[in-house]
Amino acid sequence: MASTKRQRKKENQAARRAALEAARRRQRRRRQVRNLAGLALGVVLLAAVLAFVYRQGEDDSAAPPTTSTAPPATLASFPPVPPGREIKGETPCPQPAGEERASSFEKAPPMCIDPAKRYRAVFTTSAGGVKVDLDTKRTPLTTNNFVVLARYRYYDGTSFSRTDVDLDIIQGGAPNQSIADPGPGYTIKDEGAPFTYTEGDLVMARSDSPDSASAQYFFSAGPNTASLNGDGSYVTFGKAAEGLDVLKGVLASHVDCPDPEDPSCLGGAPQPPVKVDTVTIEET
């Protein structure tokens, strides 16, 4: 009898040891599965982060000419131009010699130019003069808009607020000295696309949306602007007849934005800043 009890006791102990060992094995397997799942998740997250950084690097290297609602860039610049008068209702056509400065318009201007005539925009800047022959044949609406704003002295006292050496562009036309400028109060329709871009072109800047241009413009100052040819939707409305060397000098003074993650950077700006004293229109 004693021998039988001892035997059963040994068998029970062995069964308990086997059950305990089985439980331990199950626990180890669960830990391994959790560790593998955690590792896989870590790999996925790391891949996502690296992809995001890569995309950001690609996007920042050649941000297209655009208007923006981001805060102003942190590079040194001129103070905003004091606001001019506000024009309510229809916009009267300005006198060829110019009008009192206006900076806010309720409506886009009517056709004020004569497309049969020739128009030249003369930029007087702190870096030198630039003269641009405007295109009244392919882009009469865009040229008319620029001429009207210039004759209302909208551009006087502004600056070249952005440069981008990846696109070889110089952007201006913002009285608050930033691409975040709200504009004159209206937008105009795109016309004449598609375009290709070469040195000396004067082009309208706009947002990603069609028909969103208003006042900001950019110059092509080098061959890299041709990278926009695949889009071709930015309206070219003039060509520099004089002062391409001035534009190249402005681009050569480019300084990167101090904070590459600043959404208003989009490249950088010329340093020292370049002021646009006046933009006048010659009509022949």
Query: Looking at the domain assignment, is residue 15 inside a domain?
Result: no
Distance CA 116, CA 155 (A): 25
| Model pLDDT for residues 208-252, shown as the tens digit of each residue | 999 999 999 999 999 999 999 999 999 999 999 999 999 999 999
Query: Looking at the domain assignment, is residue 240 inside a domain?
Result: yes
| Model pLDDT for residues 36-82, shown as the tens digit of each residue | 333 333 333 333 433 433 334 444 445 677 765 444 445 888 999 99
Q: CB–CB of 251/224 below 8 Å? A: no
Of the listed ranges 21-35, 96-110, 162-176, 270-284, the one predicted with least confidence: 21-35
Query: Looking at the domain assignment, is residue 189 inside a domain?
Result: yes
Q: Which residues contact 112 (CB under 8 A, 6 or more apart)?
A: 93, 94, 144, 147, 148
The enclosing H or E element of 43 equals helix 2-61
Q: Which residues contact 3 (CB under 8 A, 6 or more apart)?
A: none
Q: Three-state SS for 31?
A: helix
Which CATH number is 122's domain given? 2.40.100.10
Distance CA 153, CA 158 (A): 10
Q: What is the pLDDT of residue 52?
A: 38
Band (27; pLDDT cuts 50, 70, 90): very low
Of the listed ranges 27-31, 99-103, 199-203, 231-235, the one predicted with least confidence: 27-31
Query: Looking at the domain assignment, is residue 8 inside a domain?
Result: no
Distance CA 267, CA 257 (A): 6
- Give the pair of three-digit tokens for residue 34: 């959790």
| Model pLDDT for residues 114-158, shown as the tens digit of each residue | 999 999 999 999 999 999 999 999 999 999 999 999 999 999 999
Query: What pTM was estimated for this model as a whole?
Result: 0.76
Of the listed ranges 11-15, 86-90, 174-178, 213-217, the one predicted with least confidence: 11-15
47 versus 268: the higher-pLDDT residue is 268
- Give the pair of three-digit tokens for residue 255: 């300084």
Query: Looking at the domain assignment, is residue 9 inside a domain?
Result: no
For 43-96, strand residue ranges (E) read: 85-87
Instruction: Give the chain's domain count.
Output: 1
pLDDT above 90 covers a percentage of the chain that reads: 68
Task: Give the DSSP per-residue string, 229-272.
Answer: TTT--S-EEEEEEE-HHHHHHHHHTEEE-SSTT-TTTSSEEESS
Distance CA 264, CA 243 (A): 28
Query: Looking at the domain assignment, is residue 269 inside a domain?
Result: yes
93 versus 51: the higher-pLDDT residue is 93
Residue 99 burial (CB < 10 Å; 0-12/13-18/19+)? middle
Q: What is the pLDDT of residue 158?
A: 98
User: C-alpha distances in angstroms, 190 versus 15, 47, 143, 205?
Assistant: 85, 40, 12, 11
- Give the pair of three-digit tokens for residue 6: 């001892």
Print the domain residue range for 277.
Answer: 62-283
Q: What is the pLDDT of residue 74?
A: 59
Query: Looking at the domain assignment, is residue 43 inside a domain?
Result: no
Q: What is the pLDDT of residue 30?
A: 43
1 versus 98: the higher-pLDDT residue is 98
Distance CA 21, CA 62 (A): 62
- Residue 28 pLDDT greater than 60, yes or no: no
Query: Looking at the domain assignment, is residue 45 inside a domain?
Result: no
Residue 32 burial (CB < 10 Å; 0-12/13-18/19+)? exposed
What phi-psi label fits residue 271: left (phi over 0), alpha (psi between -120 and 50 degrees) or beta? Answer: beta
